[in-house]
Structure 1
Amino acid sequence: MGIHNKISDYLGKVKQICRKWLRKEMKKFALIVAGGSGIRMGMEVPKQFLVLAGKPLLMHTIETFVSYDPDIEIIIVLPSSQIAYWDELCHQHGFRHKLNVVEGGPFRFFSVKNGLDSISEEGIVFIHDGVRPLVTFETIRRCYETAMEKGNAIPVIPVSESVRWLGDQGNEILDRNRVRLIQTPQTFRISLIKKAYDLPYDEKFTDDASVLENAGHEIYLTEGNRENIKITWPEDMETAERFLMKTFR
């Protein structure tokens, strides 16, 4: 074996050791943003509190991450007006998972920032929509592993239908093979995403990836899961109910 091959082999082993060490040492946080309303659901109750398979939807979301890793630290971001109601629901359902409840802001950007500001350690943070209870362990694992290696991981799924772009002068077909639907948990090294959230708010920030991208970082995509829908419409609740009835976590 030549000297260059020996050096390459040695560096490869060093990288493997470093990756194993990081996987062992990096703490996990799930920052679950739950500031939705029930308007599009036609409900007065905020959608994260709607009952799904016997308990509030948000509890299913939390339990998914706790089941994935019992040592994960859970941070829930709620509007200040909903925190007392959430405490009441936890009491009613005997929901005793250790949580850090943080008050949200006027927009999602500020809610996430408040949640990130509550974290004082380095590690990996999963930023997740509270109304996505059907994310799988496999998706969470892929996000974690990619973020460990690349610094960030954004779960996506392919588009199955035709897509058209609406412009000022009309509309045009897009190549759906080059389009992806974005999901959560959008996953990051904590120091990286906290620094990105020092940017001033911009209405073009539609998700956490767009914040990191505007801070000058490349975005890395990973495979999501189709069941991981964001519950928005009444029929979404029916879909989620059916899925939970046939799935054992």
Structure 2
Amino acid sequence: MNKAAIIVAGGKGSRMGGSIPKQYLEIGGKPILMHTLEAFFNYDPNLTLVLVLPEVDFPFWKELCKKFSFDIPHEMVVGGKSRFQSVKHGLDYLDWEDGLVAIHDGVRPFVSQEVISNGFEEALHSGSAIAVVPLKDSIRKLTDDDRSFYQEREYFRLVQTPQTFDLKRIKKAFDVTELRHFTDDATVFEHQGWQVSLIAGNPENIKITTPEDMEYASFLIQKKKDKYNFPRFKG
């Protein structure tokens, strides 16, 4: 079974306010994007990794790989003007007839091995697997006349990536004109009339977007280091 992961990293990081796009900012001594690629490589070293970047970023990324001695094998694909177009370019690169593909945000470096594995397993069974987590806070629905109404949070989920699919079906789904309601890969898949399957995501799998996210990411990196460096004593 052919398996791939498309890592989409075309953001400009405007909400971060930095001089370089957020995917290249460092946490734990290396760029965020390298942590993300490592997560999928550690799941399966034979996984085909497709990194979708703006073409203008190719030289900079190659410099970073050299600077940080980053040698995880991956293919680079030119991104599009939107996330939809970038994912489509990544899918077009895969010339297999059959297989599975996980589509993941480059700035979600804390996806767990369990979520990646469960995504491929569910997609093999049902054709799709969308990582989600439950809401913790109460929510309200706003109306056009400035009113709001309570909503039962038990019926809602926060959507993450990876979103994993049968390759043939997701390629067909992306062979359409881009629409405004295509907010993620699941909505593109659903546009074909297909129901998506949900799997449990992991709460740490945040999308790093703001300076506050960077602070939390640094905490998670340190927590991970402490876990593996914790002294163990024999009784």
Class of the TM-score when normalised by the shorter of the 2 chains:
over 0.9
Counterpart CA distance in 2 for 1:165 and 1:87 is 45
Residues 1:47 and 2:25 are matched in the alignment:
no
Paired positions, count: 224
Residues 1:142 and 2:118 are matched in the alignment:
yes
Residues 1:38 and 2:46 are matched in the alignment:
no
Counterpart CA distance in 2 for 1:70 and 1:247 is 21
Work out which of the two has the higher radius of gyration on C-alpha atoms and give 1 or 2.
Answer: 1
Paired position in structure 2 for 1:56? 31
Match among 166, 180, 183 for residue 203 of structure 1: 180
Match among 219, 242, 245 for residue 196 of structure 2: 219
Q: Which runs of 5+ in 1 are unaligned?
A: 1-25
State how 1:28-177 maps to structure 2 within 5 Å: 28-121=3-96, 122-169=98-145, 170-177=147-154
| 3-state SS in 2 of match to 1:247 | helix
1:32 Cα shift? 0.2
Given that 1:199 and 1:215 are in contact with CA atoms closer than 8 Å, whether structure 2 keeps it comes out as no
Paired position in structure 2 for 1:234? 211
Higher share in helix: 1
Cα deviation 1:59-99 (Å, max 9, x = unaligned): 00000000010110100000111111111111111111211
Opposite residue 246 of structure 1, the aligned amino acid is K
Percent sequence identity is 48
Runs of 4+ in structure 1 over 3 Å off: none
Residues 1:184 and 2:155 are matched in the alignment:
no
| 3-state SS in 2 of match to 1:153 | strand
| 3-state SS in 2 of match to 1:246 | helix
Q: TM-score, with normalisation over the residues of structure 1? A: 0.88
Q: CA RMSD in A?
A: 1.1
Counterpart CA distance in 2 for 1:82 and 1:215 is 33
Q: TM-score, with normalisation over the residues of structure 2? A: 0.93
Counterpart CA distance in 2 for 1:196 and 1:38 is 28
Q: Which runs of 5+ in 2 are unaligned?
A: 229-235
| 3-state SS in 2 of match to 1:184 | strand
1:38 Cα shift? 2.2
Opposite residue 228 of structure 1, the aligned amino acid is N
1:243 Cα shift? 1.2
Counterpart CA distance in 1 for 2:218 and 2:117 is 24
1:227 Cα shift? 0.2
